[in-house]
Amino acid sequence: MNMTDVVKRYEPDLKHLEEHLGKYLHSAIPFIPTVINHLITSGGKRFRPLMLLASADLCGYRGERRYPLSAVIEFIHTATLLHDDVIDGAETRRGRPSANNVWGNAATVLVGDFLYSRSFTLMTDDGDLNIIKLISETTNTMAEGEVFQLLKRGDVGITEEDYFTLIEKKTAVLIAAACAVGALMAGASRDRVEALQGFGHTMGLAFQLTDDTLDYVAAEKEFGKAIGMDIKEGKITLPLIRTLAQCSAGEKEIIRGIVERKQATEEDIRTVFGLIGKYDGIRYALGRARNIIAEGKALLAPFGNGEAKSSLLAMADFIAERTL
């Protein structure tokens, strides 16, 4: 099974999800859904809701609760993208002008807040206190991750441990929560909830690792954002952290100057890319991602074989393949 097969299997569910997303975005202020739809209809793969759907399926649940709770996960993810673009001063997102570039920072932040509050309304309507507690803790951790990333921006002294803390808080916890929610709504045993949450956690780490690495190697039309933006924004990710740990003192000072300026030129970006290539930063980061994916797949061993399990394994393979 591959990612195309996964999408085909859950296509009816994803269609229902889209209907629910539209319903939940209704507001007496038409401007709000206009801003949200600008991003939410711009080609996102609904990867996190897919994780929830497949996890629920693996645990034997295919009821209606999947749709509002999938919407919760997608809305929280979308809110973080809106806020990220404001913080980063982004000009594009998924190949089109970012919301903040079109409507300004204030409106974009407030619409992101609307998505958070709508998510908690949906969770309250569902009424499962375990899920409410999990998502509440998740959003709190994600906020910590955003602050931590801001503090580490432009810091060439960032360690691998710092980096993994950051991507755990920013990305992994939400994908972990998506998988755990799928198990919780199915009434799965604690062991199974923890196994799926652990699987989602590793997938989230690997997803962000590969995303950060693609910033150095992907074509913009495939990646959805301008290449080299992390350097321009002063974000130091694993390929560059590895390079900084291996390069000479003089090369480190060159990188420091480029990163701290936060206005890297195309020549600056080529210089950094060259050093990352020299010290195998990309291969190192992708190797870490593949090892993490293997660890995550092993967590599904206690579950019986079937299309739901195959779907989750295929999504794990997709994360690895997107590095090619």
Average pLDDT over residues 255-271: 85
Q: At 182, which amino acid appears?
A: G
Low-confidence winner among 60-64, 181-185, 231-235, 300-304 (lowest mean pLDDT): 231-235
124-156 confidence digits (pLDDT tens): 999 999 999 999 999 999 999 999 999 998 888
pLDDT score of 218: 55
* In contact, 99 and 86? CB cutoff 8 Å: no
Average pLDDT over residues 155-180: 96
Confidence of residue 261 (pLDDT cuts 50, 70, 90): confident
What is the radius of gyration, based on Cα positions, of the chain?
A: 20
| 227 or 276, which is more confident | 276
- Alpha-carbon gap, residue 299 to 292, rounded angstroms: 11
pLDDT score of 220: 39
Half-sphere exposure at residue 25, Cβ-oriented, CA atoms within 13 angstroms: 26
pLDDT score of 283: 94
pLDDT score of 315: 96
**Fold held by 3-321:** Farnesyl Diphosphate Synthase (1.10.600)
Whether the predicted model's global pTM rises above the 0.85 cut: yes
Average pLDDT over residues 258-269: 83
Whether the per-residue pLDDT at 284 is higher than 80: the answer is: yes
Whether the per-residue pLDDT at 324 is higher than 50: the answer is: no
What is the chain's mean pLDDT, rounded?
A: 91
User: Domain residue spans in the chain?
Assistant: 3-321
199-237 confidence digits (pLDDT tens): 999 999 999 999 999 888 754 344 444 567 788 888 899
Compute how many other C-beta atoms are within 10 angstroms of the C-beta atom of residue 278: 12
Structure token digits, residue 273: 């890319």
pLDDT score of 92: 83
18-69 confidence digits (pLDDT tens): 999 999 998 989 999 999 988 887 767 799 999 999 999 999 999 999 999 9
CA distances from 206 to 74, 131, 158 (A): 19, 24, 19
Percent of the chain predicted with pLDDT > 70: 95
**How many H-runs (helices) and E-runs (strands) does the chain carry?**
18, 2
pLDDT score of 45: 79
